Amino acid sequence: MKTLYLFKQLIFSISFPISILLLIKLTYSYNCYFLLIPLFITLFLTYSFFQKRMREKHCFKSCYFKDNTILAKIVISPYLTAIFYIFLSCIYTISIIYSVLSFKWYFYIFLVLFIIFIFFLYNKLSSLFSNIVKEDYLDIFTKEITIKISSLILFIIFLFYTLNSFEPSYLSNNLEESLQLATNSLSSNCQYLDFILRLKVELDTYFWYFTKYGSQIVDNSYLKTTIWILFIFINTLSIIGINRFFIQTISFSKKIKG
């Protein structure tokens, strides 16, 4: 019975996020109804961040402040927290969309395998911490530890992939031509999304161009290194966002009744 329960959770944990990512890839170019998908992802990520942060604030208030004082109420106020994490989740969502549009079919196979790995990692950690961590905090604690471990693994894979094999086909030794080809490679009938996609792809083109042809333009090796690090940092946002999306789904799958 327990095996069947875990199997149902695993199927949901794989099918739900992969379906969302495929929907992004298949529907982004049509119209602005597509924006319902990133809105959902943004709210889903916001809930994950908000849940964690509010728990931390309540713990902080309990340790340092007396109940019903003005400062205690300010500390646990949900409004500023919600606004900040909605903004942060929007940035993650935009990065996710842009990354998903460049995914090849084999990358989805990797993502399925990765979800299976983090699913069992999450459940193993949950079992290990069940006798240590209070039940009210167990899910959040396990989720955040799993996110940290899996984010590190994803980052190493992304770094290896970027340094060794990935280079956009639109890149040429002429910057204007590269920008033109890049902006033509992604477009949407939704004006808002089209603007965001073009802005992101132009930014990536500048990074790639100055990284590859920087020696012909910039003599300062520190500046070139800084540009490369900044490029990796910006694109790492999509990794963090996708990873949190997967693990929040796994956490949510525990609500499936056996």
- The amino acid occupying position 104 is K
**pLDDT (tens digit per residue) in 16-51:** 999 999 998 888 878 788 889 999 999 999 999 998
- pLDDT of 15: 95
169 vs 236, residue with greater confidence: 236
> Do the Cβ atoms of 161 and 107 come closer than 8 Å?
no
What is residue 165's predicted lDDT score, i.e. its pLDDT? 59
Q: Which residues contact 26 (CB under 8 A, 6 or more apart)?
A: none
**pLDDT band at residue 10, thresholds of 50, 70 and 90?**
very high
Closest CA to 11 of 151, 119, 124: 119
CA gap 31, 189 in Å, rounded: 5
240 or 188, which is more confident? 240
Lowest mean pLDDT among 73-82, 159-168, 244-253: 159-168
CA–CA separation, 153 and 191 (whole Å) = 36
Contacts of residue 65, defined as CB under 8 A and 6 or more positions apart, other chains included, come to 71, 72, 75
pLDDT band at 1 (very low <50, low <70, confident <90, very high): low
- For the chain, what is the total number of helices (H) and then of strands (E)? 9, 0
CB burial of residue 143 (10 Å; 0-12, 13-18, 19+): buried
Whether pLDDT at 219 is above 70: no
Whether the per-residue pLDDT at 159 is higher than 90: the answer is no
* Average pLDDT over all residues of the chain: 83
pTM: 0.85
What proportion of the chain, given as a percentage, has pLDDT over 90?
Answer: 31
SS3 103: coil
Distance CA 29, CA 31 (A): 6
Q: State the residue for tokens 């969502």.
A: 93
| Residue 216 pLDDT | 57
pLDDT at 154 over 80: yes
- Average pLDDT estimate for 175-197: 79
Question: 253: how many CB neighbours lie within 10 A of its CB?
Answer: 19
Q: pLDDT at position 42, please? A: 93
C-alpha to C-alpha distance for 178 and 200, rounded to whole angstroms:
14
pLDDT of residue 111 exceeding 70? yes
Q: List the end-to-end C-alpha distance of the chain, in Å, as a whole number.
A: 8
